[in-house]
Every structure is written in C-alpha cells, then in structure tokens.
Amino acid sequence: MIGRMLKHGLLGLLMVVAAVLLVRQGLVPLAAAAFAPEPATLSLLRRTGIFLAVLLAYAAWRRWVLPGPAPDLRFRPLAVMAGGLGGAAHISVVTLAGFAAGYYVVVAAPGGSPALLGVAGLILIAAFMEEVVYRGVLFGTLEDGLGSTAAMWLQSLVFAAMHLSNAPASNMELATTMVAGTLIGALWTALYAWTRSLWVVTAHHAFWNFAIILTGLPLSGISDWRALAPFESAYRGPGWLTGGVFGPEDALLCLGVVAISLAVFIRLAKRSGRWLPARVGRGVHGAPAPVRASA
C-alpha cells in the first residue's frame, strides 16, 4: 500500500511540475521569440498557460493513475460562488473583528491600484496550483490508502511546513505558524472532502487570500502587495492577537474560527458519506465496503 501511494503521489507531482516547466521554459520563450509580445501580454500568456497545463496534467493523473472516479473537476457555478464567498467571509470574521476591536487600524486609504486585478489573477492561479498539489494529488493519494482522517492531517502538516519559510525565526512564531497552517490546510481539505470539488476549495482559498490583501494586512508573511491595497493598515496589539508578521492567519481568533469550521466541515463530509475510512474497510474504488450480516 505504501509503495502504491508513493508511486501515485510522486507521479502526480512530477506531472504537475513537468506541466509548469513546459510552459515556463518551453512555450513562453517560444512565443516571446516568435511574436515579441508586450510584457503584460507575455505575463498573461504565462499565467494562462500554466493554469491550463496544470489542469490538463491533473485531469490526466486522475483519469489514468489514481483509481476510482474523479468528480472533483466538475464545475458547478453556484457551489463555486458559495465557496468563494465563504472563503472571504471566513477570514473577514477575523479581520473585521480586529478592526472593530482596535488592534488592526486603518492609517490611510489610498484607494487601491489597478494592479490589484493582476494580483487577483495571480492569487487565483496560485490557489488552484496549491489545491491541485495538496488536496488533489497529496490528499487524494493518501486518502486512497489511509482514509480521510489520516490523509487530512498528514497532508495538512506538509502544507503548513511548506509555509514556514514565510514565518519569522522565533520558536514561538514558528510554532504558531505551524499550528495555524495545519488547521487551515485541514479546513480546506475537509471542505474538499465534503464537496469533492477542486473548484469550490480553490475559490474558498483564493477569496480568503484576496480578502486579506484588500485590508492592507500581511498575507501569510508576504507584504509585497500591501502597497496596492485600498487601505493601509497597522497593528495596535500583541502578536498573539494580531497574528504578527505572518498576518491575521496566525491570530488567536483565526485559530478558533478555523477549528470550529473544520469540525463543521468534517461532520458535513461524514453525513454526506464522503469521509472515507482506511482502504481495509473500503471496496476497490473507495466506496465503503459492504458490511456482511453475522451468522
């Protein structure tokens, strides 16, 4: 079982990486040499190409490598819209509470920049790629053998660890970021397990991130886009309350909101029959194995 999971997972990751490299190192340079487009056009071509290449690579992996049906690429507009609004609402509970309580404060309102539209596109593509890698490939591979619970926590630990490079160096801040990242990763995994839609969880993830950017607060330790936000914001409180350098995702209130939402999503996934046990208790393609009546 472990050998199969490693083979399936590594193949999925290699296919995604190969798709990105094909666009960045192959198609985009060829287009630049052949047509000499404007930088903005070339950037749009690169982002669109990466998005489509990753989508095709993931679809091929789900079709030919991971056993069982793959309904997670079916696009349901209303569900995707609800996912996006839910993501913005989730993190806005934290940020708006901070502004209301005074430990986040608006110090200026420059009105934002037209460049935010490009940031929104970048955020969407980045969220999609993370969801493909962590929820689609990694969680999908682990869940196929270990069941939903173990797969969620293992994948979420990896997700959190990959974001530690954005955190400050102090042990307490690293530990907080690890806990917060694990819970947020688990939240998106539970949402994915409940909806079985990569688009819904991508929308939730992207709207969550963009809602933070609009406040002028740091996003996952990244401050590059704060100057483009419609508001310039600052902290007036301790790190455990504000989230510190990493931003509101590390705030104590965010941990509480995410923990409660995680419990709700897991319950919904279980009630819908989409929270899978380990493979030893399932049929061949992930469906719960029939329970035989005892004699």
The pLDDT score that the predictor gives to residue 226 is 85
Question: Residue 144: its pLDDT value, please?
Answer: 84
Q: Is-above-0.85 flag for pTM?
A: yes
Of all residues in the chain, the percent with pLDDT exceeding 90 is 71
Which pLDDT score, from 0 to 100, does residue 227 have? 85
Mean pLDDT per block of 10 residues along the chain (295 residues) reads: 85 95 93 88 92 95 78 93 97 97 94 86 95 96 92 96 78 90 97 97 97 93 85 92 92 97 97 87 42 30
State the pLDDT at residue 5.
85
Residue range 13-54, pLDDT digits in tens: 999 999 999 999 999 999 898 888 888 889 899 999 999 999
- What per-residue confidence (pLDDT) applies to 172? 85
- DSSP code of 68? S
- Per DSSP, the three-state class of 11 is helix
Closest CA to 143 of 160, 129, 127, 156: 156
* Dihedrals phi, psi of 236, to nearest 5 degrees: -140, 50
How many Cβ atoms sit within 10 Å of the Cβ of residue 5? 18
Distance, CA of 170 to CA of 86 (rounded, Å): 32
